[in-house]
Each structure stands twice: as C-alpha cells, then as structure tokens.
Structure 1
Amino acid sequence: MARSRRLQRMSSGSSSSSSSTSPERGADDDNDSFMLQANDSQSSLGLEMSSDMGQDAAAQREYEERCRVSPVARLPAELLISIFARLNAPSDLQSCMLTSKLWAQNSVGLLWHRPAMSRWDSIHSVVSSIRKADKRFAYQDLVKRLNVSTLTNQVSDGTLIGMTECKRIERLTLTNCSKLTDVSLQPLIDGNRSLLALDVTGLDQLTDRTMITVADHCLRLQGLNVSGCKKITDASITAIAKSCRHLKRLKFNGCSQLTDTSLMTVAAHCSALLEIDCHALTNIESPSVTALLTSCPHLREMRLAHCMKINDSAFLNIPYHPDMPYSFDSLRILDLTDCNELGDKGVERIMETCPRLRNLIMAKCRNITDRAVLAITKLGKNLHYIHLGHCARITDLSVEALAKACNRIRYIDLACCSNLTDNSIMKLAGLPKLKRIGLVKCAGITDRSIYALAMMGEMKAGKKSVGQSVLERVHLSYCTLLTLDGIHALLDNCPKLTHLSLTGVQAFLREDLLVYCRDAPPEFNDHQRDVFCVFSGSGVSKLRDHLNLQKANRLAHRMAADRSSTPSVASEYAEAELDIDDENLDSNGSNTPVLNVDVHGSQPAGGTPIASGPASAAHGPHALLTDLPHGQTHWHQNPNAGASNLSQSAPASTNTMIWPPPHQQGQYGQHIQHPLSAGGAQHVTGMMGATVLDDLEEGDEAFGEGSEFMGD
C-alpha cells in the first residue's frame, strides 16, 4: 500500500509539471524560469525567499544608516542607557538628548526620572514641558521621583496642581512645604497609585482626608513619613495599616494625636516593618511597644524617645518560652531617650531579647543604675554607640566594665554623670576605635583623663599601638578642673580631632585662644556667650599651632635665660663627655653629687654611666628629655636602650615618679616605675643607698599594665 501511494504521488507530480504553462527555455537561456513566473503567489518557497530578502534589505539599510551617522550609533540601547546613567549633571543629559534621535530616546528617561525642582525657573520649565501639546515625548509618564522640598514654604497648592498630569510617581517628597494642603495633595496622590514612598514632614495643615486617599489608592506603599502632621489621627493611620500591607518604614514624630490604637493596628497588619519612629508620641504606652516587638520580627530600628508612659512592662511582658525564647536578632537601633519610667529590670530584659544591638540611646533614663549598665556589657563587640547622658546614678564600676567588655565602642556620651572619676575615663581611653566621647559636666575628671585620652595614640595598656589616635570629637564643657597642659597634649596627640568643646573651662576663656573659637549660636543669652568656647574644623588646627608656637617661644626664652645666668653649663657638659666628673649640674643649675653606679648589665663593673648633654639627650638612641610646660624634664625611654642608660641626676629610687610636673604631683600615686628598658636585675649603688630594680618581663615598657598612670 505504501509503495502504491508513493507511485501515485510521483505520477501526480509529473503530470502537474508537464501541464505547466511556463514558457520553455532556450538552450542558451540562463534565467531561472521559476523567477520569471507572472504569478508566484501560489508558491510558498517564493514567499519565504522574498520575505527574507526584504528583511535583509531593511537590516542592511539600517546598518548603512548607522555607519553613515557614527560608529557610536551602532551601540545597543541597553549599553547607551548604562553610559548615560553615569552622567550626573542634567545639562550633560540634555546635551545627549540634542545629539540624535537615538540618543534622545535613550536619555530622556534618565533626565525626567527625577526632574530638577530646586528653583522656580526649573519648576516652571517642567510644568510647561508637561503641558505642551506638541511635545515629542510623554514627559509626564517619565517622572518617577518628585522632590520640591528645597523650596519649602515657597511651594503652594498651585505648584502641585500643575503636576497632577504625572501618573507614575513612585517617590514624593514634600518635606517642610508647610503651605500645602489637602486641596492639591489629594488629587496628586489619587492619580499615582504606584506610589512607594511619601514624605510629608512638617505639613501641619494636612488632615486625615489625604491619608485616607493614600489608604484607598496606594496599596504598594512602603515608606510613610508624617512627622509634624499634628492633625492626623488614629482613623487614617489604622486605615493605611490595614490597606498597605507592604509598609517597611514609618515615622510618626510629633503626631501628638496618635495613640496605642494606631501602633497596635500597625503591629497586627504590617509584619514586614523594618523601622518605626515614635518620637514624642506622649500618648502611647507599654502594650503597643510589646505588640510591635512580638509581631514585627524583622524590626531593625525602634525610636521611642520622649514616650514618657513607657515602663519596664513594655519589655517584661514579651512572652517567654524556655524552649523557644523570643530573640530579636534584627534590632540594631533602640532609642529610649527620656523614658523616665524605665528601670534596671527593663534594661536587663532588653539585653536578653535584643542581643545584637549596635546603637543604644538611654539619655535621661534617670532611674537606671550600675545594674543596668552591667547588663549592657552583654552586648560585647556588637555595641558601637551608647548614650548614657544624665544617668547620674551610674559610677566608675559599671563604666569600667563597659569599657572592658565592649571594646568596639566608637561613640560614648556620659554627660552629667557626676559620679564618674578619672579611673573610668582612663579605661575608656583605651578603646581602640573610639572616635567621639562626651564628658560635659563630669566635674570629677582632671588632666589625668585627658593625658590618657591623648596617650592612647601611642600607648595602650603599656604596649605601643599601631597607628594614631582616631579621636575626632571631644566634649569637655564645664569640666572645670582641666588645665591648658592637658588639652595641649590632647591636641598634639590626636591629629584627627575636628571638634573640641570647652565651654565654661576657665583656662580657655582667654582672648588669644577665643579668636579660634567659633561664634556662639544667636539664641544664646549674654552669660552663655561669655562662657562659650567651642573649636571646630580649622579652629582646632589653628589652636594647636598657636599653643605649639607659645611653647616653642617659652622654651627659647628659658634656654636664653639659662645661658645668661649659668655660662659654665656648656663647659660642664663638655667635661662630662671627656672625663667622668664627680659632679654634674641639676636642672635648676645647682650642683648635685654624682651617684657611683654599678650596673650589672652592659656597663662594665664599677663603671658609671654618663648623662648625655643637651644635644645627645634630644637626639640620642636611648632617652629623650622632653620639655614640659613648667620647666621640668620628663623621661621617654626607648625600648631599644641598653641597661647602662641611667641618668646621673636621677634619684636612686624606683618607687616614685621621675620629676613629676607640678600639676601632676599627688595625682599619679607613688608606684610608677623608673623608665628603664627591659633587662635582668640591676643593682644600683650610690650615695643614697642601694635599690634593686625588679625584673621586667620581656616586652614590658614604662607605664605597663600594673601602672596607676594608666588607671589599671
């Protein structure tokens, strides 16, 4: 059967070809008779070939056109858009639009995605382009972000009415445009149902009418900022929470009419919430905070500043199951400023449920004590920012523990913590990443704390650190025990310092220093202006240079006075270098008997090490005598110094400080080691008796971990 069908098809094909009406070709005819048919519409092969040839011809013409214009025109649209997106100036994008039609098509969206609205002429140009009848592009459909906040109170309802033709706005920012009302805002929002973020901060005339429109039409809304909109009530916020299930960021600062009803509704319907700011919502209470924490597991930031009705129950009432305890690992920022009812128990519960807090603000939580701060130490390396200002009940005990456990703290504020002393501040000075510290009105701190903060750039826990101090901002206003010497040391050792506040510090209320101080705020009264002293920016550098110049001048005058009063000083030093004398000059020019020193070390037995003269003391490989503000000398021991380097004018005792400056006497204690380098036991014999210098472990240096100078 199959064979018969094949024969039948072959016979039909031969008959059809024999009955063809096409003309016969001659022997020398090279033309294809198929292509010469008068009507080839019945041939599928002819149709396909003609279509392909037509497309090839069109592509060839397009390619030739591109080559004729410019090689750049051959770039695909995706690549052109990527290139244009790297242009920051709108004028550059406008130039691209005027280059060619192809460039205009690929750059117009970038130019109109976020039109410039920072000046009135810009707004007029945008509105006129949108309303133009014969415009080349539909500009109103290209606008995705609209921001007129730079003009603030100059923007009125008439300004926004001209933008109602824009129907695809995703982000609308109207911050502090206080003249706007529901009249213009409601129709604009009604036409933009793809709105993702709305910022109407400071629009105090806005009412629930506009917010209900948001709830009805902006179902994709993710961010809402209604800070300062005092007419908004629970009715509109609950409607938005029920309709906009994708909300991630909410800011209700100063919306004084909102209550627990709004927050409970948000907690029930917006489980994807990441940030919420309830600053100064004085009507909310603890149950709403508990609901937010338990229902929004992804919450990263919660600000409850000045919510004075919140107490420990907000955190103690979080359900606790031993088998599955609640843990809000995502929470990074918690602001509890001025929550007066909060106590130690609440803080302890916070630390149990929020173990990865990075920023903790508890300023003016006046009920917390050392117990709460000791609980905060559980955060360990996670804690970067902590504010404990006006927590007057905390003491050195907890602050020292905090510095030890949380060694990655970058910012700490302890303003008005009047119980703190140098002991805790010297511990904080050892924090390697500390950039900002606030010690305003910590009246108990002295120059010891400031020297510790300054020296951390070179020495931490008795060991040399790598790099310099990273301190940037130091607040020391009304620390009345501070002197010029300590602050000068801080300036010299903290090269990154950009802000230094010393308001009320008497030592800095001098005309020659105040010239580098910035101007007092205009709202200050006369008394505040008289004591204002804040250095910032270039003022810090100028103050440092001024103090260094004064120090250099004092040193030069003192050296000149010494030369005029004791002309034999140079000869005495010269004789000491050539021959070992029995006498040498003291720092005040008097003669002091030289100690007969027998050092069991590199110095030969019975030999007496010689104190170098001024030049060698300043540049020698072993020790450096540094001028101090009161004309004293201070030892800086080089760790590579030999065991024989012992000054002749130094006392033969090792349990007291060497030449302490007057402002340091009685402050550092009586147990600071003589700054000798590491080595074996050294027996020193002289006119004042014999003293054995204890062995120093290898690697230890002056002011080590056991030194009271470092506060250990």
Structure 2
Amino acid sequence: MLRSRRPHRSSSDSNSSSTSTSPERGIDDDNDSFTLQANDSTSSVALSISQDLSDLEMERQMAERYRLSPVSRLPAELMIAIFSKLASAGDLKSCMLVSKDWARNSVALLWHRPQTNKWQSVNTVAKSVNTTNSYFDYANLIRRLNLSTLAHEVTDGTLWPLSSCKRIERLTLTQCSSVTDQSLVRMIDGNRSLLALDVTGLYQITDRTMSTVAANCIRLQGLNVTNCKKLTDASLQEVARNCRHVKRLKFNGCSQLTDKSILTFAENCHQILEIDLHGCNLLEDDSVTALITEGPHLRELRLAHCSRITDLAFLRLPIEATYESLRILDLTDCGELQDAGVARIIAAAPRLRNLVVNKCRHLTDRAINSIIKLGKNLHYIHLGHCARITDAGVQQLVKHCNRIRYIDFACCTNLTDNSVQRLADLPKLKRIGLVKCHNITDRSLQALAMRSRESQRAVVGPSSLERVHLSYCLNLTLAGIMSLLNSCPRLTHLSLTGVQAFLREDLIVFCREAPPEFNDHQRDVFCVFSGHGVARLRNYLNADINIPGTGFDTDGTMYDDNIDDGEDDGIGDDEDGLGFVGMGLDLNAPPDIVVNIGGTPSPPSADSNTPNDQQQTPTQPVQNIVWHPAPPPPTGSWNGMGLNTFNSSGSSAGPAAIVQGASSAPPPHPAQQVIDMMGAVDMHDEEMDDAGSPRL
C-alpha cells in the first residue's frame, strides 16, 4: 500500500523565502531542520563568495565606525610625500600628534636632520637616542648630523652618546678641533650608510680614523679632511681601495700626502667629480696626469700652491684625448708652469669655464693666445701677477672671450688704460681686479663707467659692474671715482687702498668694519667700501661735491641676477664654481690695506646725511700720521661725465680732487712714500670677497 504524501506547505508557513521553491523533504530524510538551515547554501563557491562579501562589509563597517578621513586611508608613501612639503619642525610635530599612522609616517622626516645648533637641542637628541623602550628607534632615524655651529665646544664627550646612531649618511664636524680619534672611531665603526664626512680642521685625528672609514664606509661619496695634517698616504690608500664610489675629495693642507695616495685614488675611483689638493706641496706631475686621464667625469681640479707641478703634468696627456667635463682648473702659484703647459691643457679641456693662473709668473701673451681658444666657454679668469702680459694680449682676450664675468689682472704692471678700455667692452663683466696696476688713470674709470662698443664707440648705458678693486692705482682722482660710483648702480664693493684722493677723514667713516682677526695697526688703516657703505659714500659725495653730469638716467638698467641671459650652452651655472671659492682663492685673506694720512677719524656731523645706526668708524685711532687735503685744483675744464679733460699726451688737465671748503696745505706724500708707510703691515695685492660669500 502506497504511503500518502504530506500536503505542500504554503508560502505563508515557510520560515524563509529561500525554501519556498525547494522540493519538499521526504518524511524519512535524515537531516533535521537545524542542519538544513545551517547548510542552506551547499555550494563551496557560494560559500567563498559569502565570506568575501562579509570581509568587505566588515571593513566598510569599521571605516564607518571610526569615521576614517580619506587622507588616513592614503598609502604610506603618499603621506610621507605630503608631509615632506612641511618646512617647519613644529608642523611635523603636530602631525605626529594626530594619530599613530601619522606619527609613523612623519617621525622619520622630523628626525632626518635634527636641529643641533644649540646645546639644549643636542642634549635632547642625545637623551632621545639613548632612551630604552621608546616607541620609535630614534638612533636609526637620524640621517644627517651637523655640529659645526657649536664647533669649538664640541668634544669627545659630545659624540660619545651619539655613537649609537649607525645610519647617519652625512656627518659634519667642521672645526670641531677638540674631537679626537677616540670618539670619531666609535661614531664611524659599524656605520655602513655614511655617504659624506666633513672633518675640516680636526687636526688631532690620525690614520686610525681614516682606516675605520675605509673598513666600514664603502658607500662613501664625499670626504673633506682639510687641514688634517697628521694623515698620511697609508690610510688614504686604504680609503681609495675600499671606497670606490667617492666623487668629491678635499685634501687641502694635508701636507704629508704624496703621489702614492693620489695615484691610488686615480686608479681606483673613476667617478671623481671634484678634487682639491690646495697646499699639497709634495705632489708632482704624475698625480695630475693620472687624475685627468683616469677621471672621465672630473669637473674641478684645484692645484693651488702645488709648487712642484710643471708643464709635464699636461704635456704627458694623450695627444688626441679631450676631457670635456673639466670646467674649473686652479693653478695658483704653480710657479714652474709656462706657456707650453697652458697651451696643452687648453687643447685637452676645451670647455674650461674657470681658469686661475694667478702667480704663474712665467706666462706671457703666448699663454693668452692659447686661452682665447676657449671662446664663449670662458667666464672667469685670474691672471694676477702675470706681469709679462701686455695690452696686446688683453685685446685678443676680450675679442675672442666676450662672455667673461670675472677677470683679475692684479700686479700686471705692463697694462695701461688701453687694456681697461677694452675690458669695458665686455657686456657681462661683473668683477674686475686691477690692484697695483699703476699705469691706469681716470680714462680707465671713464671707460668702465660708460661701456662703448668698439664698432660705433657709442654709449650703450651704465655698467653692470658689481665689484671693482683699484687698490694702489695711484693716478686715480676723486672725479674719476665719482663717475664710476654714479654710473654703476649695481656696485656693491669698491676698494681704493692708497688712492690719494680718498685718504680723507670724512670718507673713512663709510668704510666697513675691519675683520676681527686684524691687529691694531691693520684696523687703523683699513678702508674698504662695501654693501650699504658704497651707497652712503655715493650719496655723501654727491651732496658734498657739486660736479655736474656725473650720472646717467638708469631706469631699466637694474635686473635680477636670476634672469636667464638666453645664452644657455648646456652647462648650468651651478657648475661654474662662481666667486672666490669657485676660483680656488683664499677667503681668509684680509682685504686690502688703506693708508690713512691724517689724524683720528671723526664721524660725520649731526646734520650729515648718514644715519647714526649706519655709521662705521675705525676702531683704532691713527696716532702719528698727519692729514693732508688734496692740492688746490689747477685750471682745467670738465667734460660731461664730470671727469678731467685730457690733453693729447694723456695727462689730466682737471683737478685731482675738489673738496668743498678745503684750504691750502702741504702737498700729499709721493706715491712710493704712501706704500712705504705700510711698514710691517702685510700688504695684500688683492681684496677678497666677504667671508662666507662663496658665490657671486
């Protein structure tokens, strides 16, 4: 007998809509209702999809619950990129306080280069890196450490608590002269990340430190050991063999170095971009030849005061080889260098931009004829003390190298006004040095004040000069200097040591302060006009001396230094090595000395145009010198520039100087007596840029 079937359940009796279309269960099915509901979806695929959906739903609910902002859901890389735009440490600190995510992504930026310009900051850093159980590993967050601001107070005890920072990439200890091998070795040992080390002036460190650098810092790219006089070839050869990625080396004043170490660098380190061997007077020709031939990327080679270098250093270069990367070459005081050596290096490095052959006394116009092959590439040239150079050589230089910005002919005694008149045609000239060029007169100043083109001899406007050095040019007059001041609106530095017309009490007050390292006698005679002093001197002279026609309408002549001149030749200005540092000159040399022939200087009167807060007076009086005003003006006429009218013989027909209210007095000292009165004072043939101003 057939068993009767149970009637179908209505949809209203169903517990869920999912079972309404399912076939009816048999009465003797083994699964109960609990099992059925738990396994309603029997497909494994459906099960996995359900789990994925639940995960997404959970994430959505979590985001909704905690209301996360869109920026909080950004990847860490993007958050770090955003935080890196914050320049203030205070802003980064505020970001750290927002959330743990923000803290994790901003703490590295805050500690990348901690501020260490105050002792309180140094102590805070030292305590943080040595704190146990801290939330962040501060010791490994520091990438750059610079203690040069506190240089003279930093000792081994300062570095000791920082020695746990083993991921420092740039360590700067400039002039921290109390630091020794004891702390520096501990600081460097175990650091595999160091890229740049500057220990300038650490005269106590020895080969032990350099050996530690060689053993640990295989990624090293920059090494500055200036004036570390105890270093020898032995340790630096280790550095050369192990640190093969070095690009910048400064060995200034390392007087024990010889060809051994430099040859090792040349053979092993082929990525060198810059090397400075200033004062390494044991080096010979082989080192120089090897550095050039083995360094295809070499851009700067500084060999100042390497007195053993001769022409052979360059004559041994491969005949057909050229070194296109070389931009800066400093051969200051390489006294054995002659015309043949200059000719060879010019041919081998046709894109030289900065050339310094100061105090290479054997050079003649033949060297100039080689230099002119550089053409438009040459921007900066120093020919001081090359006394054999004549007007003919200067004429050729200006004709072929018309992009020169900087030129120095200090102590080139054969040069006359003809040379300066040619130099005035250089359209981009900013700095000119004519110290002790005794033959130049006001004609030169007139040419500098009004540039004229050789083709038309037509006035083209005020000069672009910024720095002019005329010390001991004894034939200059007040009128000529006035013309220069009023026609050069960009002039910021003017040195007039020994120029009789400016040895006056009322003008000395506009000079800048003497450097602190000067002795009393040097302070007494110091006189250099710079910065605002030039403008105040100009205003004072224009108000005090009525010389008509001494200026130009300069509207439109001022322009920004950053404006591109439209003559880019593919070489960025940042590679020029501008200014005196780029030229390899001594920034520490004191400016030129001025002889004050007169009594104790006094500041301007109360009705003077000079503000009290801007007055600069010498700090030491002149005791045993008598002031002499300028001689009474002879008869003569003035031209439109306010300059003396010159006769056919070239002599001045106008007054040497016009001083309002000046009375007759004994004539001034002869030129030679002016110089002889310097006595024991060190007379510098050229003035240097202000300390700390490495670029023009």
TM-score where L is the length of structure 1: 0.72
Inter-partner Cα distance in structure 2 for 1:361 and 1:510: 35
Change (3 A) 1:242 1:340: same
Pairwise CA distance, 1:46: 4.5
Pairwise CA distance, 1:276: 0.7
Does residue 1:256 correspond to 2:255, yes or no? yes
Partner of 2:535: 541
Inter-partner Cα distance in structure 2 for 1:280 and 1:83: 47
Query: Of 411, 420, 436, which aligns to 2:415?
Result: 420
Counterparts of residues 313-462 of structure 1 (less than 5 Å): 313-320=312-319, 325-456=320-451, 461-462=455-456
Q: Residues 517-556 of structure 1: CA distance to partner in whole angstroms, max 9, x if unpaired?
A: 113335546665555321001010011111211244999x
For the residue of structure 2 that corresponds to 1:349, the secondary structure is helix
Change (3 A) 1:51 1:208: farther
Counterparts of residues 76-91 of structure 1 (less than 5 Å): 76-91=75-90
Partner of 2:30: none
Change (3 A) 1:137 1:182: same
Partner of 1:9: none
Confirm or deny: 8 A CA contact 2:636 2:645 kept in the other structure.
no
Report the residue type matching 1:431 in the other structure: L
Inter-partner Cα distance in structure 2 for 1:490 and 1:274: 40
Counterparts of residues 140-539 of structure 1 (less than 5 Å): 140-320=139-319, 325-456=320-451, 461-462=455-456, 468-524=462-518, 528-529=522-523, 531-539=525-533
Pairwise CA distance, 1:340: 0.5
Confirm or deny: 8 A CA contact 1:473 1:498 kept in the other structure.
yes
Inter-partner Cα distance in structure 2 for 1:459 and 1:376: 23
For the residue of structure 1 that corresponds to 2:529, the secondary structure is strand
Using CA pairs below 8 Å that are at least 6 residues apart, which structure has the higher relative contact order? 2
Pairwise CA distance, 1:495: 0.3
For the residue of structure 2 that corresponds to 1:664, the secondary structure is coil
Inter-partner Cα distance in structure 2 for 1:315 and 1:345: 9
Change (3 A) 1:662 1:38: closer
Confirm or deny: 8 A CA contact 2:450 2:461 kept in the other structure.
no
Pairwise CA distance, 1:65: 5.3
Q: Residues 274-295 of structure 1: CA distance to partner in whole angstroms, max 9, x if unpaired?
A: 1111110011100111111111
Change (3 A) 1:297 1:264: same
Change (3 A) 1:170 1:525: closer
Confirm or deny: 8 A CA contact 1:267 1:292 kept in the other structure.
yes
Inter-partner Cα distance in structure 2 for 1:96 and 1:269: 46
Inter-partner Cα distance in structure 1 for 2:79 and 2:454: 55
Pairwise CA distance, 1:454: 0.3
Q: Residues 160-194 of structure 1: CA distance to partner in whole angstroms, max 9, x if unpaired?
A: 12122222111111111111112111122122112
Inter-partner Cα distance in structure 1 for 2:391 and 2:86: 55
Confirm or deny: 8 A CA contact 1:454 1:494 kept in the other structure.
yes
Q: Residues 664-706 of structure 1: CA distance to partner in whole angstroms, max 9, x if unpaired?
A: 2335699xxxxxxxxxxxxxxxxxxxxxxxxxxxxxxxxxxxx
Confirm or deny: 8 A CA contact 1:551 1:629 kept in the other structure.
no
Confirm or deny: 8 A CA contact 1:485 1:629 kept in the other structure.
no
For the residue of structure 1 that corresponds to 2:38, the secondary structure is coil
Change (3 A) 1:531 1:207: closer
Inter-partner Cα distance in structure 1 for 2:542 and 2:382: 34
Pairwise CA distance, 1:102: 2.9
Inter-partner Cα distance in structure 2 for 1:364 and 1:338: 5
Change (3 A) 1:38 1:162: same
Pairwise CA distance, 1:97: 1.6
Inter-partner Cα distance in structure 2 for 1:429 and 1:62: 76
Confirm or deny: 8 A CA contact 1:630 1:661 kept in the other structure.
no
Query: Of 644, 664, 667, which aligns to 2:646?
Result: 664
Change (3 A) 1:380 1:493: same
Partner of 1:104: 103
For the residue of structure 2 that corresponds to 1:423, the secondary structure is helix
CA RMSD after TM alignment: 2.8
Inter-partner Cα distance in structure 2 for 1:97 and 1:460: 66
TM-score where L is the length of structure 2: 0.74
Inter-partner Cα distance in structure 1 for 2:498 and 2:97: 62
Report the residue type matching 1:197 in the other structure: A
Pairwise CA distance, 1:220: 1.1
Pairwise CA distance, 1:87: 2.2
Does residue 1:48 correspond to 2:48, yes or no? yes
For the residue of structure 1 that corresponds to 2:201, the secondary structure is coil
Report the residue type matching 1:549 in the other structure: A
Inter-partner Cα distance in structure 2 for 1:634 and 1:256: 57
For the residue of structure 2 that corresponds to 1:162, the secondary structure is helix
Say which is worse superposed, 519-528 or 181-190, in terms of deviation: 519-528
Report the residue type matching 1:498 in the other structure: T
Q: Residues 214-240 of structure 1: CA distance to partner in whole angstroms, max 9, x if unpaired?
A: 111211111111111111111111111
Confirm or deny: 8 A CA contact 1:430 1:461 kept in the other structure.
no
Inter-partner Cα distance in structure 2 for 1:499 and 1:173: 32
Inter-partner Cα distance in structure 2 for 1:629 and 1:73: 85
For the residue of structure 1 that corresponds to 2:437, the secondary structure is coil
Confirm or deny: 8 A CA contact 2:328 2:353 kept in the other structure.
yes
Partner of 2:609: none
Inter-partner Cα distance in structure 2 for 1:269 and 1:61: 62
Pairwise CA distance, 1:36: 6.1
Pairwise CA distance, 1:460: 6.6
Confirm or deny: 8 A CA contact 1:328 1:355 kept in the other structure.
yes
Partner of 2:566: none
Inter-partner Cα distance in structure 1 for 2:350 and 2:39: 85
Change (3 A) 1:198 1:631: same
For the residue of structure 2 that corresponds to 1:150, the secondary structure is helix
Report the residue type matching 2:89 in the other structure: P
Partner of 2:624: none
Report the residue type matching 1:124 in the other structure: N
Inter-partner Cα distance in structure 2 for 1:86 and 1:631: 66
For the residue of structure 2 that corresponds to 1:449, the secondary structure is helix
Confirm or deny: 8 A CA contact 1:426 1:452 kept in the other structure.
yes
Q: Residues 554-583 of structure 1: CA distance to partner in whole angstroms, max 9, x if unpaired?
A: 99xxxxxxxxxxxxxxxxxxxxxxxxxxxx
Inter-partner Cα distance in structure 2 for 1:170 and 1:242: 20
Does residue 1:131 correspond to 2:125, yes or no? no
Confirm or deny: 8 A CA contact 1:509 1:533 kept in the other structure.
no
Confirm or deny: 8 A CA contact 1:410 1:433 kept in the other structure.
yes
Report the residue type matching 2:141 in the other structure: L
Counterparts of residues 684-703 of structure 1 (less than 5 Å): none
Change (3 A) 1:117 1:661: closer
Confirm or deny: 8 A CA contact 1:180 1:203 kept in the other structure.
yes
For the residue of structure 1 that corresponds to 2:45, the secondary structure is helix
Pairwise CA distance, 1:101: 2.6
Pairwise CA distance, 1:399: 1.1
Report the residue type matching 1:507 in the other structure: A
For the residue of structure 1 that corresponds to 2:486, the secondary structure is helix
Q: Residues 445-491 of structure 1: CA distance to partner in whole angstroms, max 9, x if unpaired?
A: 000000000002x7675365766422100000110100011111111
Say which is worse superposed, 181-190 or 459-468, in terms of deviation: 459-468
Equivalenced residue count is: 546
| Structure 2 residue runs without a partner (length 5+) | 1-7, 23-34, 550-632, 653-696
Q: Residues 92-117 of structure 1: CA distance to partner in whole angstroms, max 9, x if unpaired?
A: 22122223333222211111111111
Inter-partner Cα distance in structure 2 for 1:60 and 1:501: 75
Pairwise CA distance, 1:313: 0.5
| Structure 1 residue runs without a partner (length 5+) | 1-23, 556-627, 637-659, 671-712
For the residue of structure 1 that corresponds to 2:162, the secondary structure is coil
Pairwise CA distance, 1:270: 0.7
Change (3 A) 1:60 1:437: same
